[in-house]
Amino acid sequence: MRAVTFSADDFGLTESVNEAVERAHRDGILQAASLMVAAPAAADAVRIAHANPGLRVGLHLVVIEGPAVLPPTAIPDLVDTAGRFSSNQLGLGIKYFVRPGIRRQLEAEIRAQFAAFAATGLTLDHANAHKHMHLHPTVGAMMLRIGQDHGLPRIRIPAEPPAVMARCGSPATLGDRLLYRWTSILRHQACAAGIATNDHCFGLAWSGHMTGDRIRRLLAELPEGDNEIYFHPAARRDAVLDRLMPAYEHEAELAVLLDRELDDCKDDPLSRFVSP
């Protein structure tokens, strides 16, 4: 059997993103969104989520390129004086591996983000991490362990099958293939923790560019199993999106989620694209 979840990342980043999430859920095919609990528009996102109880909301854990929940004085080795994580993925990854003091601060921050989500009163549907940082074994293990304390039922494994993407006209690079293999570590960690995962995930190779033609191509090639297709929609450009993701096609991704042809079959979104 094939199943698919259409989801959105960066819920709470800006009001433009929040508006897109609400529209895509109410009028389109969006089923789930991942909340950045310390982001500037998080309170607005929580309001929208409560007003749309059918929207499944999870934690979009931020341990890179974004704001922390805890003050800089509590986690001075993790964030700058403004309370923001670095965007240096390699540098952070090495620190998280080798420095016990930083790992203690990291655990405190992850706990604080789960606690902040719990304080919203929303049901925790899932968890994943900004820039897929939960693929880091230290971050992944902490997210799963702390998530268990909060009843975490499911995480995203960002495993995008190279063979499927090749059939969609996007041949995998060596890096793509290595990343796909690396996801088996997180899958093993989740299995050991008794937390559910998806089988496949799409949105990595085309991140920020999940346009209509690509989605139709992908749906026609969707593999058996539990699939997640994630997007970065926004209702309009704004200063934050221009600074963080200048090349992303946020509005085009919202258009896909609102596509009338997809909306007509949102109760069975694969019916007209996938052969039985």
Ordered domains of the chain (ranges, CATH): 2-263 (3.20.20.370)
d(CA 208, CA 47): 25
Tell me the C-alpha distance between 59 and 258, whole Å. 24
Residue 15: its pLDDT value, please?
98
Which tens digits make up the pLDDT trace of 30-66? Answer: 999 999 999 999 999 999 999 999 999 999 999 999 9
Using CB atoms within 10 Å of the CB of residue 219, give its burial: 0 to 12 exposed, 13 to 18 middle, 19+ buried: buried
Distance from C-alpha of 14 to C-alpha of 12, rounded to nearest angstrom? 6
Q: Which of 232, 224, 226 is nearest to 163 (CA)?
A: 224
The predicted structure's pLDDT at residue 265: 46
pLDDT (tens digit per residue) in 66-123: 999 999 999 999 999 999 999 999 999 999 988 999 999 999 999 999 999 999 999 9
Q: Token pair for residue 104?
A: 């203690």
CA diameter of the chain: 57
Q: Is 152 helix (H, G, I), strand (E, B) or coil?
A: coil
pLDDT of 269 strictly over 80:
no
Q: What is the dihedral of CA 15, 19, 22, 27, to 10 degrees?
A: -170
The pLDDT of residue 270 is 52
Chain segment 4-34, per-residue pLDDT in tens: 999 999 999 999 999 999 999 999 999 999 9
Written as one string, the DSSP assignment of 197-235 is: E-SEEE-STTTT---HHHHHHHHHTPPSEEEEEEE---S
pTM, two decimal places: 0.93
Alpha-carbon span 71 to 250, nearest angstrom = 31
Q: Are 110 and 143 in contact (CB under 8 A)?
A: yes
* Model pLDDT, residue 268: 57
pLDDT at 274 over 80: no
Q: Is the pLDDT of residue 200 over 90?
A: yes
Confidence of residue 276 (pLDDT cuts 50, 70, 90): very low
Residue 271 has pLDDT above 80, yes or no: no
Edge-to-edge strand order for the sheet containing 56-61?
196-197, 154-155, 127-129, 56-61, 32-35, 2-11, 225-231, 200-202
pLDDT digits (tens, 9 = 90+) for 230-255: 999 999 999 999 999 999 999 999 99
262 band by pLDDT with thresholds 50, 70 and 90: confident
Whether pLDDT at 273 is above 90: no
Q: Rounded to whole angstroms, how far apart are CA atoms 59 and 134?
A: 12
